[in-house]
Amino acid sequence: MIQLLTFGAALLVFLLLLGVIYALQRVAKTRAGGGKVGENGLTLQGFSYALILLAVAYALAMLYVFVRGTVWEGHLMEWMNIVVRLMHITFGIAWIGASFYFVFLENALNRTHNVRDELAGNLWAVHGGGFYYLEKYKLAPKEIPRDLHWFKYEAYFTWLSGFSLLFVVYYFNASSMLIDPKILDVSPLAGVAIGIGSFVAGWLIYDGLCKTPLVTKGWWFIGVGGLLVTAFAFFYCHVFSARAAYIHFGAMLGTIMVANVFFIIIPAQKEMVKAATEGRPLDPQLGKNAGLRSLHNNYFTLPVLFVMVSNHFPSTFGNAYPWLVLVAISVGTAGVKHWLNLREKHQATVLVLPASALFLLAVAFTTAPRKEAGGAAACQPVSMAQVQSIVQARCVRCHSSNPTDEVFKSAPNGVKYDSPEDIIRLKDKIMQRVVITKTMPQNNKTNMTQEERDLIRCWIEQGALGGPAAGGVAPGGL
């Protein structure tokens, strides 16, 4: 009875949300500009979009509460991962694409030839079968247009969807995905608190640094900022599991980026619009500050994009020094972005791109696995039965047609070791994840020993034979 009443109350709240959304949409359609509210760029239509996201999040949360502990929990979590991840990627493309475009626009403006006095520059462009002519004002036009587009929701929804994805993948399964007791043995709640608190700390430190005279010192600012970023990478890799550490590093940078938009860029734009509307002189420093933070965001984009895909590449987060690899790749990708920015300004040098590329290649070279002394010749013959016994004991609780793991209710990435043929077919993946990077089992939750990893290495180096072989053990025994 109590469960039925709870479901009824939850459904009522959801229906009320839908009713408010419908009413806002109706009113917004009858008003110009989407139902503009005040002079700050907010609209009724914008509020309704925010409520739609809230309604979706509420529905998913209620659904999770009702299926938790049932056979449908794993299926729901997988689909929540799919939906939220797709939203995050879509909004991220829109935001990063806008960032790339406007920095390109700023860099490529014609500032000298036939430019009116009130303009900072203009640009002709052709795209999609049409010609475009764009103008940038030094301050603002004499009359602010009624329909003014604000580039902000792409940033907000990218961060909100990314933060939601962090919960779906890492925080809801903190004991398995976030915490590695061999790195730091803390409770799941403490781990989540550390993660979220670090985002706030990252923004406060960065924002404080930007308000010091150092922000105008060029390489000094870059040097201090680089040290701070390195400190966060080191901190994350000594608190969380390696995969979670990388994601939190990217989430910290993403939080700084969206906070730049919310606290600095948009307020500056609103003040400029308000001053222009009221006929007051504009403070040009507002635009300079907003432009500087936008430029910082532009340099953060490639490191953040690397972090988004890094979990698919264990040679990065599985390295003995994952924080150093993370910082090195971030520096290299930021260097590539710097070259792109210089190129758009027609200031490209012959050194920046090759130096960045060589730096990234050096990271790839130094993270390459070292060949074991003696190789297969130093091993005793290993049979398929021995390897299958290890896989059955350490791997199939997740990687099988019917997983028994408390988190993974279906085989991650579709990888299954149900038969000897499956193990042989996936031997290269096993070598990379189990032997070289030791990133599987996840956080070594099944306590695979180094001797077992050595035995698997010997079996693969001997040709990963599926037939019977003489019994034997790897160096060190089992």
pLDDT tens string 93-132 = 999 999 999 999 999 999 999 999 999 999 999 999 999 9
Q: For the purposes of burial, counting CB atoms within 10 Å of the CB of 367, is it exposed (0-12), middle (13-18) or buried (19 or more)? A: buried
Pairwise CA distance, residues 157 & 52, whole Å: 12
pLDDT per position as a tens digit, 337-352: 999 999 988 886 779 9
Give the count of beta carbons closer than 10 Å to the beta carbon of residue 444.
Answer: 16
Pairwise CA distance, residues 213 & 343, whole Å: 28
Percent of the chain with pLDDT over 90: 64
Pairwise CA distance, residues 110 & 108, whole Å: 7
CA-based max dimension of the chain: 90
What is the mean predicted confidence (pLDDT) over 4-9? 74
With residue 137 as reference, give the H or E element that holds it: strand 130-137
Contact status, residue 323 vs residue 333, Cβ threshold 8 Å: no
Contact status, residue 282 vs residue 205, Cβ threshold 8 Å: no
pLDDT per position as a tens digit, 279-307: 888 888 898 999 999 999 999 999 999 99
What is the band of 364 on the pLDDT scale with cuts at 50, 70, 90?
Answer: very high
pLDDT per position as a tens digit, 22-51: 887 787 777 765 556 555 556 777 778 778
Q: Quick one: DSSP state of residue 321?
A: S
What is the band of 14 on the pLDDT scale with cuts at 50, 70, 90?
Answer: confident
What is the band of 1 on the pLDDT scale with cuts at 50, 70, 90?
Answer: low
Contact status, residue 469 vs residue 381, Cβ threshold 8 Å: yes
Pairing, β 36-37 against β 130-137: unpaired
The reported pLDDT for the residue numbered 469 is: 41
Distances (CA, A) of 93 to 97, 99, 341: 6, 10, 19
Distances (CA, A) of 289 to 98, 148, 294: 19, 21, 9
Pairwise CA distance, residues 180 & 178, whole Å: 7
Pairwise CA distance, residues 21 & 47, whole Å: 8
Q: Quick one: DSSP state of residue 239?
A: T
Backbone φ and ψ of 443, nearest 5° = 55, 20
Find, among 174, 160, 172, 156, the residue nearest to 78 by Cα.
Answer: 172
The reported pLDDT for the residue numbered 474 is: 40
Find, among 219, 295, 314, the residue nearest to 257 by Cα.
Answer: 295
Distances (CA, A) of 148 to 122, 169, 178: 19, 38, 43
Structure token digits, residue 305: 């994009």
Contacts of 192 (CB under 8 A, 6+ apart): 171, 174, 178
Mean pLDDT of the chain: 88
Contact status, residue 440 vs residue 415, Cβ threshold 8 Å: no
Pairwise CA distance, residues 476 & 59, whole Å: 54
Contacts of 455 (CB under 8 A, 6+ apart): 382, 386, 387, 390, 473, 474, 478
Pairwise CA distance, residues 18 & 440, whole Å: 44
Q: Is the pLDDT of residue 55 over 90?
A: no
Give the count of beta carbons closer than 10 Å to the beta carbon of residue 102.
Answer: 15
pLDDT per position as a tens digit, 57-84: 778 778 878 887 777 877 888 888 998 9
Give the count of beta carbons closer than 10 Å to the beta carbon of residue 314.
Answer: 20
Helix axes 73-108, 44-67, angle to 10 degrees: 150
The reported pLDDT for the residue numbered 40 is: 52
Structure token digits, residue 406: 């408390």
Pairwise CA distance, residues 63 & 85, whole Å: 18
pLDDT per position as a tens digit, 152-184: 989 999 999 999 999 999 998 899 899 999 999
Q: Is the pLDDT of residue 353 over 70?
A: yes
Instruction: Evaluate if pTM is beyond 0.75.
Output: yes
Percent of the chain with pLDDT over 70: 93
Find, among 47, 24, 43, the residue nearest to 34 by Cα.
Answer: 43
Distances (CA, A) of 233 to 187, 250, 373: 21, 10, 33
Contact status, residue 450 vs residue 476, Cβ threshold 8 Å: yes
One-letter amino acid for residue 21 of the chain: I
The reported pLDDT for the residue numbered 39 is: 52
Helical ranges in 140-278 per DSSP H: 153-166, 188-210, 219-237, 242-259, 266-278
Q: Which residue has the tokens 């408390």?
A: 406
Q: Is the pLDDT of residue 471 over 90?
A: no
The reported pLDDT for the residue numbered 45 is: 72
Q: Which residue has the tokens 């099988």?
A: 400
The reported pLDDT for the residue numbered 475 is: 39
The reported pLDDT for the residue numbered 477 is: 38
pLDDT per position as a tens digit, 211-266: 999 999 999 999 999 999 999 999 999 999 999 999 999 999 999 999 999 999 99
